[in-house]
Amino acid sequence: MESEKNLKRVPLTRLPENKKAKVVEIAGGANMRDKLMSMGMNEGRELVKLSYIGLRGPVVVKIGRSVVAIGYGVAAKITVETI
Amino acid sequence: MIKKIYLVGNPNVGKSVIFSRLTGVQVISSNYPGTTVEISRGWLQFAEKNIEVIDLPGTYSLEPTSGAEETAVSLLAELPKEEIAVVNVLDSTNLERNLSLTLQLIEKGFPVVVCLNMCDDAGHRGIHIDAVKLSELLSVPVISTCAVTGSGIKLLMSKIQEARPVARESLSHEARWLELGRLIEEVQSLEHRHHTLRELLEDASVRPVTGLLMAAAVVFASFKVVRFIGEAIISGITDPFFNAIYRPLLEKLSLGLHEGGFWFHLLIGDLIGGKIDFKQSLGVLTTAPYIEIGMVLPYVIAFYLILSLLEDIGYLPRLAILLDSLMHPLGLHGYAVIPILLGFGCNVPGILSTRVLESKRERLIAATIISIGVPCVPLQAMIIGLLGKFGGWYVGGVYLVLFSLIIILGLVLNRLMRGNSPEFLLEIPPYRIPPASLLARKLYFRVKGFLLEAMPVVLLGVMFINVLMYFRVFDMITGFFAPLVVHLFGLPKEAIVALVVGFLRKDVAVGLLAPLNLTIKQLFTATTLLAVSFPCVATFFVLLKELGLKALVKSTLIMIGVAVIVGTLLNFVILR
């Protein structure tokens, strides 16, 4: 049970493209957290990962009706749970 | 009594377009977050009084997380709340996120009028918003507008005086999102739409393979089209004008002047083979207007047409995503692409827009890169005009040197300067098709700005140079710098005048090289040196204003160092 749950929880960087997921945790600096939250990304929110450019470039996600590009370093600190 | 009206809203919702509509003051608006980096102020005729309207930079919340947001929030606290009205501009296609700021404004007790902008675009996307219901739920006036066409603006003006503070409980962040969910349920209905071509293109442009292919195509096409339009204007309009209409006028005038005399020297300059040569005569009435209008202006028009189009469609943030990882080694992130691209038009707006970057470190790196390695349109037009006849390889060569410099400088500065670069976080706007009228206004505004700025400097500059040359003042300066320029760079000492004038304006300076009969090697070295050395006077002042004296000195020393190294290397190693 526990292992299955862990499988579903991944950093945003490892979520497959076009997959829907729910934000579980946003680690990292308070400033970045605030910024993400004011752009509509808070814990519990659903998102779809649109793409990852590669080469440690940004991850592009769709939250609600906004499309947001998130730097690789930040995306690595966002944990999501696949739905 | 309302004393000031503030336009507040998330980034890229069209505040600047509303501002222009309300005040008639033209400001640059584009389809990407962070276009407005300076606070614009204008006046609105209102109940027989003039009230100041202030266009604030976009902010996602009233708890600021960046410099631009801080400015916006602190300006809102300038006057007591009874004396202001807040026009809260929202993007109707993204109501949920936009309303978060609206709730915060109301909770804090600001007198708010809600302006549901881009309502036509929402309609296209199958989003319907019940403005009346929203107004009831929020207890503030709500008006649907489409600023680009002007619909709803009159109504908005009339409702501004109805803005009153309303009592609303202050919510925590989480509670506010729940509240938003409830509001949206009640006022918004969505029609199911199939994926449109636009959405397919939006998607493709942020995916690795298709995105890079699109970027390559867009960049290549932009270069081609700018050159095509520029050349078409020159061969179809400006050259015929100068040769068929302007030249006969000048020839009549020159008959009344004594060749070799002071006025002839000043206004007409030197005759080349007994005739006026617009590129080489160097008179206030000959070469000065020809450089700006006959050589530079056509490319300014072409460049800004294409740049404005890319800006308004919303392509630039996508380019920023694709280039993000390549910019990291230079100490920048992807969004620095926008200031750099603007810098290709003119370094001044490029450096101003480095304000979208967060840290002082990033801004210094970006500003230095722009002022050394990014040639503005006037400079590029002159490089093409002068070197182009020797073949595309030489023109390409200058770009290659500049491009290498950008990379080297970025790598070195990133190593030497303390601190890390902040992470990339950017909202990507949807593609929009800009109405032709909006594009035309923006182009007119930019071209007018170029002419107003460039013409006086060029006319006065050429006049000044001619007076100095006539009285042989330059001989002293050239004597002093001659060893450096002659031995290190392999240039004749007459080229020093051009290098010094480069401080005034780069295009005139390159123009001064034309009559010197330089070899192609010397011409290549001199134009490259002009490109990398000292910024022109306008750039210099904007660097001072934006970075402060200390950083300016640093950046200037880097520039002089780079110019000496590049000149010497070109002379002794690369072009041998």
Mean pLDDT of the region A25-37:
83
My answer on whether B561 and B500 are in the same domain is: yes
Q: Determine whether the interchain pair B60/A50 forms a contact, defined as Cβ–Cβ distance below 8 Å.
A: no
- Which of A51, A58, A67 is the closest to B324 by Cβ? A58
- Position B524: which residue type? F
Both tokens of residue B19? 């501002």
What's the mean pLDDT when you consider all of chain B? 88
| B129 & B245 share domain | no
Over range B534-554, report the average pLDDT.
Answer: 85
* Tokens at A45, concatenated: 């929110």
Is residue B400 domain-shared with residue B451, that is, in the same domain?
yes
Contact B105, B170 (CB under 8 A): no
CATH of the domain at A55: 2.30.30.90
Q: Compute the distance between CA of residue B368 and CA of residue B409 in angstroms, rounded to an integer.
A: 8
Query: Helical H runs in B314-359?
Result: 316-327, 337-345, 347-352
**B40-44, B192-196, B269-273, range with the lowest pLDDT:** B192-196
The region of weakest confidence among B195-204, B321-330, B470-479 is: B470-479
Residue A40: its chain B contacts at CB < 8 A? 96-97, 100
Is residue B340 within 8 A of residue B483, CB to CB? The reply is no
- The answer to whether residue B346 is domain-embedded is yes
Residue B87 DSSP label: E
CB contact under 8 A, A35 and B65: yes
Q: Nearest to residue B165, comparing CAs of B114, B108, B110?
A: B110
B229 C-beta neighbours (distance < 10 Å), count: 17
Same domain? For B230 and B355 the reply is yes
Average pLDDT in the A45-50 region? 90
> Alpha-carbon distance B118 to B31, whole Å?
12
The minimum CA-CA distance between A52 and chain B, rounded to whole Å, is 7
Angstroms from A51 CA to nearest CA on chain B? 6
* Residue B516 structural domain: 209-250+284-574
Instruction: Return the higher-pLDDT residue of B439 and A83.
Output: B439
Closest Cβ–Cβ partner in A38, A42, A51 for B206: A51
What pLDDT shows up at residue A6?
53
Q: How confident is the model at residue A1 (pLDDT cuts 50, 70, 90)?
A: very low
Residues B528 and B427 in one domain: yes
Residue from B12, B21, B4 nearest B143 by CA: B21
Question: Which of A13, A59, A67, A70 has the highest number of chain B CBs within 10 A, making it the mutation to test binding with B?
Answer: A67
Check if the beta carbon of residue B269 is closer than 8 Å to that of residue B338.
no
Q: Which domain holds residue A12?
A: 2-82
Q: How many CB atoms lie within 10 A of CB B190?
A: 11
Closest by CA to A40, choosing from B11, B287, B391, is B11
CA distances from A55 to B25, B208, B211, B324, B326 (A): 44, 10, 14, 9, 8
Residue B134's CATH number = 3.40.50.300
Rounded Cα gap, residues B114 and B120, in angstroms: 16
Query: Do B181 and B110 lie in a common domain?
Result: yes
Tell me, what's the pLDDT at B316? Answer: 93
Q: Are B14 and B91 in contact (CB under 8 A)?
A: yes
By CB neighbour count within 10 A (0-12 exposed, 13-18 middle, 19+ buried), where does A68 fall?
Answer: buried
Whether residue B218 is found in the same domain as residue B108:
no
B445/B423: higher pLDDT:
B445
Domain presence at residue B342: yes
Tokens 């600001």: give the residue.
B110
Looking only at the bridges linking them, the beta strands covering B112-117 and B188-190 are unpaired
Average pLDDT, chain A: 85
How big is chain A, counted in residues? 83
Statement to judge: residues B12 and B94 lie in one domain: yes
Q: For residues B102 and B167, state if they share a domain.
A: yes
Tokens describing residue B297: 């202006």
Specify the DSSP element, H or E, that contains B271: none
Contact between chains at A42 and B173 (C-beta distance less than 8 A): yes
Residue with structure tokens 């940004």?
A58
Output A30-38 pairs: Cβ under 8 A, ≥24 positions apart.
A31/B65, A32/A74, A32/B423, A32/B425, A34/B61, A34/B63, A34/B65, A35/B60, A35/B65, A35/B66, A35/B425, A36/A70, A36/A74, A36/A78, A36/B425, A37/B173, A38/B60, A38/B61, A38/B63, A38/B65, A38/B100
Q: What is the DSSP string of B129-142?
A: E-HHHHHHHHTS-E
The model's pLDDT over B139-181, given as tens digits with 9 standing for 90+, comes to 999 999 998 888 899 999 989 888 888 888 888 888 888 888 8
Contacts of A64 in chain B (CB under 8 A): 94, 96-97
Domain contains B278: no
- Same domain for B28 and B160, yes or no, is yes
Residue B151: beta bridge partners? Answer: B146
If asked whether residues B244 and B182 sit together in one domain, one would say: no
Domain presence at residue B269:
no
For residue B576, the model assigns a pLDDT of 65
| pLDDT on residue B2 | 83
Over the stretch B374-423, which tens digit does the pLDDT of each residue have?
999 999 998 888 898 888 889 999 999 999 999 999 999 999 888 777 78
Shortest distance, CA A63 to any CA of chain B (angstroms) = 10
Taking CA–CA distances from B95, the nearest residue in chain A reads A65
From chain A, pick out residues whose CB is under 8 angstroms from the CB of B65. Answer: 31, 34-35, 38
In tens, the pLDDT along B279-327 reads 888 889 999 999 999 999 999 999 999 999 999 999 999 999 999 988 9
ipTM for the whole complex: 0.88
B228/B183 same-domain check:
no
Q: How far apart are CA B321 and CA A72, in angstroms?
A: 11
Q: Phi and psi of A27, rounded to 5°? A: -90, 175
Residues B282, B244, B446, B372: what is their CA dihedral angle, to the nearest 10 degrees? -30
- pLDDT attached to residue B235: 95
Residues of chain B in contact with residue A60, where contact means CB-CB under 8 angstroms, are: 206, 321, 428
Total domain count, chain A: 1
| B158: its two tokens | 């009339």
